[in-house]
Amino acid sequence: MILKKTILAIKFIFFLNLLFSQGLKINNPIIIKNRHTLEKYLPYVHNQIKNECLAYSLTTCRTILYARDNDIKDINEISYESFSPHYSYIIFKRETNDTIDEFMKEDYNAINEFGFYKIKNLEFPNYYPFTNNHIHSFPDLNVLKKDALKYKFSKIDSINMSDPNKEKIIKHYLCKDNPAVVGFSTWPDNLYPISKSWNEVINNDNIDTKTNFDTAGGHAVVLIGYDDTINGGSFLILNSWGNDFGNNGKMWVSYNNFFKEEINIHFVFSNQTLDSLIDNHSKEINEIKGLNPQRQDLIPFDWSVKLPILKKLGHYKGDTLNDGKRNAKGEFISLNNITYSGNWKNDVPQGSGNLIIDTNFVYSVDWKNQFNSNEISQIGTWNYSNGGKSVGAFKNNLLIGFGTQYNKSGKIVYRGEWKNGKINGYGIKYYKSGEKEYEGEWKNDKMNGSGTYYYFESGEKYIGLFKDNLFDGNGIRYYKSGEKKYEGEWKNDKMNGAGIFYYEPGGKYIGAFKDDLFNGNGIRYYKSGEKEYEGEWKNDKMNGSGTYYRESGEKYIGAFKDDLFNGNGISYYKSGEKEYEGEWENSKMNGNGIFYYESGEKYIGAFKDGLFNGNGISYSKSGEKEYEGEWKNDEMNGQGIFYIHGKKHYEGEWLNGKKHGKGIEYYENGSIYRSGVFKNGEFVK
């Protein structure tokens, strides 16, 4: 049987191989187990419609990554959160070409460019099968793009099939719970439907799939695991042909048969969820916090001590030459109580030893010709024209090793490691007041690596990563009180990326940042720990779609602009029942909408500044009309009809909720009772 379903994938698959020709490598090796699968993250298996194998494979991968990132392992919940292959298929077909039968080079770019949309939000049952007319009769899918873009793949990369380590690389990424799309250039036409394994069919039926391209098209499936004990080692694939294929849609393929096929493998990656990102950042930052600010190799040693005094004055105990010169090993205590214990040669320190400044500080040194007349390096002082100075070890007139820099007032500016005249390694920079400004790693005179920065005026501090004097990478900023202020990603000295901002009185924000402001998706919490707002932000304000929760229990779901309800939205009572559904402006009901009373009545009509204004209809609890007509400031004003038990009772003019002006009253049977002029609810004439 020729599989018409499978023709689509092949051109796209080999386009991907060209696009990512370098292939994946293993950057951070992990322990590769003898078995690992992603079955715990799978949704229910479905049967593709027409030529959707690639769309199914990609959206299934996206579903797996979503379940992984959010730690969802219940198949019902995963299926509820799964992504729509039909959205991806239609977006792809509409944005690339009008044909259904083959992929163009732009196909993958088009699919990922428009993101992935969840099945629970939208499906297209009325448009099966997907003919050209049906595809182009869909509503504008760009309106869905905003939500779909949140779920784009962050990266897609291929396996270099000529890499001798390809099997190990594949297992590496599967062990990290990354799925892959596998494209087969040919597919055995008798592998569907079947309950046997791939191994049995290939080996027993002697099918050479490479010669069957005319009778079996290309096909895309999902790679979801491996087991070294099955058939001498096998990969697990997931198909899109329903539960009749293999074992509930899955099939084991031996490594041997798998690599015999003309295939391409592309692993897909996602940006993790906010919560999982923050969890990871917390772990990394805890490692940063574990940094010991008093590293043992950074000795607060006063380099102004003239070390050559060791050579002349003091008490020596140890080995000497015949002429009395200190040689080999010995201990020397100078008159200023500085002790050197170590190696000597011809009466000067040479080689390794310990320089003991006092009982608290021991400096390990490695001397080499420091005191010879033809000095290669020396301990000394370098005086600057501005009055400052550097004291330490010099080589070719450049500071090396540990040293201290002073300003013209004699106060320490920096103390720590140097290399070739520049601050390199670990060290401490000080404010003029003598307080620490920075303590940590340096490179080429700039803060680079991990460290702690202290704010002089505010008393706050930052512990984290630096790049060229700027906060860059993961880090934590603290209030003066010692409580966290921000924990997360930084770029160019500003909060950029995913993070947590803590308000000092209490409450916090978890989400995306750009240039120190809330930008992107995020959640803000009350001091109590309950959610205040969950949704989109722009420039520190609620902008876009989101949900606002009142501490009293009510909530609003809808559109926001600059922290206000603007656009379409729904407000809810504490009970969870709807309060209002419709248009908003400046956090008030403005435009058309429906207001629901908790008692069961409702109003459908126009609103202005939170009140009934314009034309509208009020309904009783039983659903019968009570009033239909004009309103002003929540009261019946203008022309309108009043009903009793669904029957017309009065039709005419109203003022401030009362009959006022010309009108007609009716009997229950619909005949006229009286007509004339009313005033303040009373009939006048």
For 314-337, write each residue's pLDDT tens digit: 566 777 766 777 778 887 766 556
Average pLDDT over residues 189-218: 44
Kind of pairing between the strands at 326-334 and 339-345 = antiparallel
Residue 196 has pLDDT above 90, yes or no: no
Single-letter amino acid code for the residue at 115 = G
Strand, helix or coil for residue 94: helix
Closest to 616 measured CA to CA, from 599, 644, 588, 635: 635
Single-letter amino acid code for the residue at 442 = W
Q: Evaluate whether 552 touches 558 at the Cβ level (below 8 Å).
A: no
Higher pLDDT, 32 or 107: 32
Residue 199 has pLDDT above 80, yes or no: no
What is the rounded CA–CA span in Å between residue 559 and residue 391? 63
Single-letter amino acid code for the residue at 325 = K
Token pair belonging to 286: 């805890």
Return the minimum-mean-pLDDT range out of 265-274, 417-426, 554-563.
265-274
Residue 122 has pLDDT above 80, yes or no: no
Closest to 476 measured CA to CA, from 456, 501, 455, 511: 501
Token pair belonging to 474: 């993961």
Q: Evaluate whether 172 touches 30 at the Cβ level (below 8 Å).
A: yes
Q: Give pTM, 2 decimals.
A: 0.48
Residue 464 has pLDDT above 80, yes or no: yes
What pLDDT does residue 62 have? Answer: 92
What pLDDT does residue 492 have? Answer: 95
Per residue, the 3-state secondary structure of 155-204, as one string, reads EEEECCCCCCCHHHHHHHHHHCCCCEEEEECCCCCCCCCCCCCHHHHHHH
Closest to 609 measured CA to CA, from 638, 636, 640, 631: 631
Maximum pairwise Cα distance, the chain: 141
Average pLDDT over residues 642-653: 94
What pLDDT does residue 202 have? Answer: 43
Strand-pair partners of 523: 510, 534
Residue 299 has pLDDT above 70, yes or no: no
Strand-pair partners of 487: 476, 500
- Structure confidence by residue, pLDDT tens digits, 515-530: 999 999 999 999 999 9
What pLDDT does residue 278 have? Answer: 35
- Topology of the domain covering 599-684: 2.20.110
Token pair belonging to 405: 């820099």
Tell me the pLDDT band of 397, cut-offs 50, 70 and 90: low
What pLDDT does residue 55 have? Answer: 84
Report the C-alpha dihedral over residues 134, 140, 141, 146, rounded to 10 degrees: -170
| CATH 2.20.110.10 segments of the chain | 380-454, 599-684
Residue 204 has pLDDT above 60, yes or no: no
- Structure confidence by residue, pLDDT tens digits, 331-375: 776 655 667 777 877 777 776 666 564 443 344 455 544 444 333
What pLDDT does residue 281 have? Answer: 36
Tell me how far the alpha carbon of residue 219 is from its chain's centroid. 32
The H or E element that residue 109 is part of is helix 107-113
Average pLDDT over residues 78-99: 72
Phi, psi of 526 (to 5 degrees): -70, 170
Q: Which residues contact 89 (CB under 8 A, 6 or more apart)?
A: 52, 55, 130
- Structure confidence by residue, pLDDT tens digits, 568-588: 999 999 999 999 999 999 999
Higher pLDDT, 82 or 200: 82
CATH number of the 380-454 domain: 2.20.110.10
Strand, helix or coil for residue 287: helix
| CATH 3.90.70.10 segments of the chain | 35-285
What is the rounded CA–CA span in Å between residue 217 and residue 24? 27
- How many other CB atoms are there within 10 angstroms of residue 191's CB atom? 23
CA–CA distance from 22 to each of 102, 160, 466, 505 (Å)? 26, 7, 31, 52
What is the rounded CA–CA span in Å between residue 134 and residue 128? 8
The top-level CATH class assigned to 35-285 is alpha beta
Higher pLDDT, 472 or 120: 472
Return the minimum-mean-pLDDT range out of 307-321, 338-352, 390-404, 500-514.
307-321
Most confident of 17-26, 229-238, 256-265: 229-238
What pLDDT does residue 401 have? Answer: 77
Number of H helices, E strands in the chain: 11, 39
